[in-house]
Amino acid sequence: MSKHVLITGGAGFIGSHVVRLFVNKYPRYTIVNLDCLTYAGNLANLQDVAGASNYYFEKVNILDAVALNEVFIRYGITDVLHLAAESHVDRSIVSPLDFVYTNVIGTVNLLNVAKENWKSNMDTHRFYHISTDEVYGTLGAEGLFTETTPYSPNSPYSASKASSDHFVRAYHETYHLPTVVSNCSNNYGPYHFPEKLIPLFINNIIHKKPLPVYGDGLYTRDWLFVKDHARAIDLVFHQGKIGETYNVGGFNEWKNIDLVKLLCSLMDEKLNRPAGESAQLITYVKDRPGHDLRYAIDANKINRELGWYPSVTFEEGLSETIDWYLSNGEWLQQVTSGDYQNYYQKMYNPA
């Protein structure tokens, strides 16, 4: 069946991979990428699909309910994949309200517009909310996050995502909006904005700048290649059960310091630098306040019910990611000029 799919946040990191996958894989779908292009949104992420006949872009803020409604009517939107968000934990510590506006109020706007436009035949539609494992809080040395782990968010970012997840649940229970949610672990890959650990450190290694490891570097994350997340999103969108949540993760836990050392040695090889040179850039800096010790996802439900499993190893994904950054210097240069320099200065070299 032909669908008219609204993808919010499609100019961001994960959203651009989802838009690319859907535009290429589903030529009979109309794909509308709705994004207000914050510092994290970049149409250069989608140059290869921008001319496709089934692709449309709308520069709209999800805080603007009137403009959202116009887009629903203009394209006869049948389905939503909601990825638009403020996504960086460090920025949420500095400006929590920005996260409340976009992640909470923006999501509720979108839920309202979908509910009103679909009220005569809810069952033929789908509202898919893409969320994070950070809503579950932090783990100790043992255990995994499952779909039934109680929410316990610790940062303003994760609190805003948890709130948006609760609103999605409430719209399903109260108005029978056909919703589905997935909560994913840390993504990495091409087009990742260099404020997050992996792309920031790749950029700094290229320029021989210090690598700022927070605290003792013993924090643990579960890393997933972004194209595998996009494949999971495709499956959940088409086959996930309405009202359900699916956890998505890489089965791939790394302590930050071990990951950084692996990244340094891969980059030394690729840049023809002496072994050990990049690791000398490692600099321990002041910790992130409220820093969650460990995230790790139990992704067995999506594996069992939808047959999803990561397709690449971490070493393969990381190698492809580094190669992409080394061949896309112009992209990196463009996103690290201007405001990025001010952000970096304030974040890492405060007066």
287 is catalytic: no
292 is an interface residue for ligand NAD by CB under 6 A: no
Tell the smallest beta-carbon distance from residue 261 to ligand NAD (Å).
Answer: 21
- For the CB of residue 67, give the shortest distance to ligand DAU in the complex, in Å: 25
Catalytic residue among 35, 58, 79, 133: 133
| 12-46 b/e (C-beta count within 10 Å ≥ 16 → b) | bbbbbbbbbbbbeebeebbbbbbbbebebbbeebb
Pairwise CA distance, residues 336 & 351, whole Å? 21
CA distance 334 to 327: 14
Q: Which of 55, 128, 136, 157 is catalytic?
A: 157
Which one of 35, 58, 79, 133 is in contact with ligand DAU (CB under 6 A)? 133
Minimal distance, residue 188 CB to ligand DAU, in Å = 8
Taking a C-beta distance cutoff of 8 angstroms, is the pair 134, 145 a contact?
no
12 binds, among ligand DAU, ligand NAD, none (CB under 5 to 8 A by kind): ligand NAD
Of 151, 144, 212, residue with least CA distance to 181 = 151
Given candidates 16, 42, 45, 256, which one binds ligand DAU under the rule CB under 6 A? 256
Of 83, 89, 104, 233, the one binding ligand NAD by CB under 6 A:
83
Q: Is 157 a catalytic residue?
A: yes
Residue 297 binds ligand DAU, judged by CB under 6 A? no
Tell me which of 134, 147, 195, 222 is the catalytic residue.
Answer: 134
The option from ligand NAD, ligand DAU, none interacting with 36 (CB < 5 to 8 A, set by class) reads: ligand NAD
Q: Which does 221 bind (CB under 5 to 8 A by kind): ligand NAD, ligand DAU, none?
A: ligand DAU
**Contact, 225 vs 310, CB < 8 A?**
yes
With CB under 6 A as the rule, give the number of residues binding ligand DAU. 19
Q: Contact region for ligand DAU (CB under 6 A) — 70-78, 117-125, 194-202, 244-252? A: 194-202
Sign of CA dihedral 12, 16, 22, 23: positive
Record the tokens describing residue 22, joined without a space.
């859907």
The C-alpha atoms of residue 192 and residue 202 are separated, in whole angstroms, by 11
Q: Which of 88, 125, 126, 294 binds ligand DAU (CB under 6 A)?
A: 88
**Helices (DSSP H) in the chain: which residue ranges?**
13-25, 65-75, 89-94, 96-99, 107-118, 156-175, 197-206, 226-239, 256-270, 300-306, 314-327, 329-335, 339-348
Residue 37 near ligand NAD by CB under 6 A: yes
16 contacts: CB under 8 Å, gap ≥ 6: 10, 42, 45, 46, 191
**Which range in 79-87, 294-302, 312-320, 340-348 contacts ligand NAD by CB under 6 A?**
79-87
Q: Residue 63: which of ligand NAD, ligand DAU, none does it interact with, CB under 5 to 8 A by kind?
A: ligand NAD
Query: Can 133 be counted among the known catalytic residues?
Result: yes
Please tell me what DSSP assigns to residue 195. T
Which residues form the catalytic set? Answer: 133-134, 157
In the complex, which residues of this chain contact ligand DAU (CB under 6 A)? Answer: 87-89, 132-134, 185-186, 196-197, 200, 212-214, 219, 221, 256, 288, 295
